[in-house]
Amino acid sequence: MTTTFTLAEPTTIGDALQKGSAHLREVGIGSGNIEAALLLSMVTGLDRLRLLTYMSRELSPGEHDEFVTLIDRRTSREPLQYITGTTQFMGLDFEVSPAVLIPRPDTEILVEAVLDTEEVAGAREGVLIADVGTGSGAIAVSLASYLQYARVIATDISPSALAVARRNVETHGVADRVELLQGDGLNPLAAYKGGITHLVSNPPYIPSTDIPGLDPEVRDYEPRSALTPGEDGLAWYRMFASQGPDWVQSGGWLSVEVGMGQAESVAELLRADGRWESVALRRDLSGIDRVVQAKRA
């Protein structure tokens, strides 16, 4: 199967759209029609509706070459979000790059779980949320956007990820309530020990042995350190179970996203520690237990 995309020149918007869509479908990208239109919109500056209006307009030489390049990048299974540089999460637009994990719809369940906890939903001041491993900042920015009275501390070990998060924080106008700190695990939160209302994280949780079987968009492009913590995928949860109580105030909460089949193991880690109570699971739209929550005794 040919994977290099070729396109006659000159060519019209309509022909480029048809051939780009067909090429992406041929290499196994089922949403080729939508993705080709999005890439062509990037190249021409026309939205999808206007593309249909100007189907007979010829691409300029520069537009032609850029479209071919973008189709080739997607053919190599580079994630569409990295090509466009943006994605949507919780109804907001976020910048993304290869320095950060692409926010998924499943993680919206985590944000909704935090928003639903009584200590957050019923408060009007004094809420301090810590987002550990913030990546693009999608969780932190979303929580700050939906909770006008909350302060959010967002941490990450990667300076490159924090640079992306900082731009997202500034774009969404929450820089006065979101503090970004660099460091590993809970270490950057030393100044807030014992005072956190809600500790939240979508940590690396894919077992290292599962990495080879992931979709190429994930396996070959997303930052490995944000995907896997090691062999069984539970290292971060052990840390939250044993160290988290020292950071979270009495009556505060821990909410974490988990991988398929991990929820009961994570819940048991929290129960076994003895300082967590009200351990509960929340399912995603596919019926998979996706979030584990626990209250600090």
Mind listing the pLDDT tens digit for each residue in 197-227?
999 999 999 999 999 999 999 999 999 989 9
pTM reported for the whole predicted model: 0.92
pLDDT of residue 119: 66
What is the distance between the alpha carbons of residues 127 and 129, in angstroms, rounded to a whole number?
A: 6
Angle at CA of residue 281, ends 169 and 139, nearest 5°: 5
Which runs of E-coded beta strand occur in 157-286? 178-182, 196-201, 248-257, 276-283
* 140 pLDDT tier (thresholds 50, 70, 90): very high
Per-residue pLDDT tens over the stretch 142-167: 999 999 889 999 999 999 999 999 99
pLDDT of residue 122: 64
pLDDT of residue 136: 98
* 105 pLDDT tier (thresholds 50, 70, 90): very high
Token pair, residue 173, equals: 């106008």
Q: Taking residues 46-67, what's their average pLDDT?
A: 93
pLDDT reading at 103 higher than 80: yes
> 266: number of CA atoms within 13 Å, CB side?
30
pLDDT reading at 35 higher than 50: yes
What is the distance between the alpha carbons of residues 100 and 198, in angstroms, rounded to a whole number?
A: 23
Per-residue pLDDT tens over the stretch 239-274: 999 999 999 999 999 999 999 999 999 999 999 999
Percent of the chain with pLDDT over 90: 89
> For helices 235-247 and 263-273, what crossing angle results, to 10°?
40
Token pair, residue 182, equals: 């660099």
Task: Provide, for the chain, the percentages of residues in helix, strand and coil under a 3-state DSSP scheme, each rounded to the nearest 5.
Answer: 45, 20, 35
